[in-house]
């Protein structure tokens, strides 16, 4: 049996999309997240699902803000949490790499002048 948390989300294009987070009662750590927007239907990560999974509530237009707390519990220890942590770590590494590139460029520019 599956259970689902569903949120209506206002998109940047002023359309309302349906984000659904589902899990099988026999496999609670395996979440599925779907969205009715075009990007999601093309198999890409859309901002609607990402925002909901990150706990964002600003664009939720359905009357179930309490489900955000339930979702937080669902995410804890799930496959999606692990993948989101990996993504977050990779973004941090990328940011640090950008900073290092900037420092190296500045040093190179300085060496060119002294
Ligand atoms: Zn979407």
pLDDT in the model for residue 19: 98
Alpha carbon of 47 to ligand 1 centroid (Å): 6
The pLDDT tens digits of the residues spanning 1-49 come to 999 999 999 999 999 999 999 999 999 999 999 999 999 999 999 999 9
CB atoms within 10 A of CB 54: 11
pTM over 0.85: no
The boundaries of the domain holding residue 45 are: 2-113
Task: Tell how far the Cα of 78 is from the centroid of ligand 1, in angstroms.
Answer: 21
Query: What's the 66 CA to ligand 1 centre distance in angstroms?
Result: 21
Question: Ligand 1: distance of its center to the CA of 98 in Å?
Answer: 29
Burial 62-75, CB ≥16 within 10 A → b, else e: eeeeebeeebeebb
Q: How confident is the model at residue 16, as a pLDDT?
A: 98
In the chain, the number of structural domains is 1
Instruction: Give me the pLDDT at residue 96, please.
Output: 98
Identify residues whose C-beta is under 5 A from ligand 1, the ion. Answer: 17, 35, 37, 40, 46, 48
């Amino acid at each position: 049996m599956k259970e689902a948390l569903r949120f209506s989300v206002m998109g940047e294009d002023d359309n309302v999309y349906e984000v659904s987070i589902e899990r099988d009662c026999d496999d609670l750590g395996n979440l599925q997240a779907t969205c009715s927007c075009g990007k999601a239907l093309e198999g890409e990560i859309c901002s609607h699902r990402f925002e909901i999974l990150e706990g964002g509530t600003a664009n939720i237009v359905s009357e179930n803000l309490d489900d955000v707390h339930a979702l937080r519990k669902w995410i804890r220890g799930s496959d999606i949490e692990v993948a989101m942590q990996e993504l977050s770590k990779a973004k941090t590494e990328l940011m640090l790499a950008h900073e290092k590139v900037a420092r190296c460029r500045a040093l190179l520019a300085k060496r060119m002048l002294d």
